[in-house]
Amino acid sequence: MVISILFPAIIFAQNPETVTDTEGNSYSVISIGEQVWMKENLRVSRYRNGDAILTGLPDSSWNKTLLGAWSVYNNDSSMNRIFGKLYNWYAVADPRGLCPSGWHVPSDKDWIKLEMHLGLPEKDLNKPGRRGAKQNVAGKMQSTGRKSDGSGYWKEQPEYANNESGFTGLPGGNRSYKGHYWYMGESGDWWTSSEASSKSAAWYRLLDVHKRPYRDAISKNFGFSVRCIKD
């Protein structure tokens, strides 16, 4: 006589890999090609050594400071959890470190390596402006998630967005060098750690309703989102 023994199926649930900043905020991460990126915008209010980053600046001070500073879109704390903080470039460049230990703010070359992995032609990698329409590079990076009420984070969800890369780029808007807040739900802007030819400008990336990620240099007093990349 053969006795059959049925064992219950065992399902192992894997938590997504995370990284934690100096304040205990936890971020999901994603491997894209040979790189490991945060899937969320940075929310930390302290440098890696524990020093507080300047905040609470009015418009008149925001556009003049040469110190690292952050704000939250429209000074609305509810924006922080989803969209993270908006940092000026001086916070990005501060030697005390903005990202968790073992991580750094991506350079322009780091972004270019990501875009190349997503299909951007080599001839377009170092060009300013919009690049990669045929390859839908922007769509591969844009969030397709929904809020709890069923609405999208984008005011108009790009039909080509598929977040194929897992980067999960959100339209967190920005704070201009004059201190005003713009484009929540319409665009996402991220700093690189790389200065441009002008000492007052640095390179950044933008995702919006176009298929092409935008690369350009801009005043260091803008407030943009920050993603970190593993060393």
Asked if residue 1 is part of any domain, the answer here is: no
Structural domains in the chain (count): 1
Asked if residue 7 is part of any domain, the answer here is: no
89-128 pLDDT per residue, tens:
999 999 999 999 999 999 999 999 999 999 999 999 999 9
155-182 pLDDT per residue, tens:
887 788 999 999 999 999 999 999 999 9
Asked if residue 142 is part of any domain, the answer here is: yes
Average pLDDT, the chain: 90
Cβ burial 142-157 (10 Å sphere, 16+ → b, else e): bbeeeeeeeebbbeeb
Asked if residue 3 is part of any domain, the answer here is: no
Asked if residue 206 is part of any domain, the answer here is: yes
Alpha helices in 13-160 (DSSP H): 59-62, 80-83, 89-93, 108-117
Asked if residue 10 is part of any domain, the answer here is: no
Asked if residue 12 is part of any domain, the answer here is: no
Q: Which domain holds residue 129?
A: 18-230
The whole-angstrom separation of Cα 123 and Cα 221 is 30
Which residues have CB under 8 Å from 10's CB, separation 6+? none
State which residues of the chain have pLDDT below 70. Answer: 1-16, 150
Residue 147, pLDDT score:
78
Asked if residue 189 is part of any domain, the answer here is: yes
Residue 16, pLDDT score:
52
